Amino acid sequence: MANLRQRWVRQPLLLSATVVALWVGGVTPVLQDGSGSRVQAQTGTSQALTLDADVQEANAKTGVVTARGNVRINYPARQIVATSTQAQYFSQERRIVMTGDVVVLQSGTNTIRGEVVTYLIDEGRFVALPKESQQVRSVYTIIDNNPGPVVP
């Protein structure tokens, strides 16, 4: 088994598309504003999703939390870190919509870049949209356990 691991080669896979959808696992977000207040969605796990931003507003009536300015989302249980200009957490629909130069990093090596990225919490799926007349860019590291000569 050790010999097989030594032959694995990690190679980035670059994808460009007008829409990208990715599946990842479930999430239990915990959102904090500057005063330390928390909004938490309940699921079967007790892992926390942390949201940092310059400004955050929570609407108790609609269940929407809006974060603006230097937004950073960290979800260690899924190895997800994301940055954007703005993010909105829709607690009733259980989704997060990030807008403005969104970068999602998963597992330390896989990335998605787009103008709008939606994370569907219950489905564990990202949907990414580009800026007008551009494309979404994704980079995935793939372990190739059978590397051979490169054929042009």
**Using one digit for the tens of pLDDT, what is the confidence trace for 33-79?**
445 544 444 444 557 889 999 999 999 999 999 999 999 999 888 88
Which comes out higher in pLDDT, residue 11 or 111? 111
Give the Cα separation of 123 and 90 in Å (integer). 14
CB burial of 7-26 (b: ≥16 within 10 Å; e: otherwise) equals eeeeeeeeeeeeebebebee
pTM for this entry: 0.66
Residue-level pLDDT at 124: 84
CATH C-level class of 24-144:
mainly beta
CA dihedral for 1, 13, 78, 120, sign (positive or negative): negative
State how far Cα 7 lies from the chain centre. 30
64 touches 31 (CB < 8 A): no
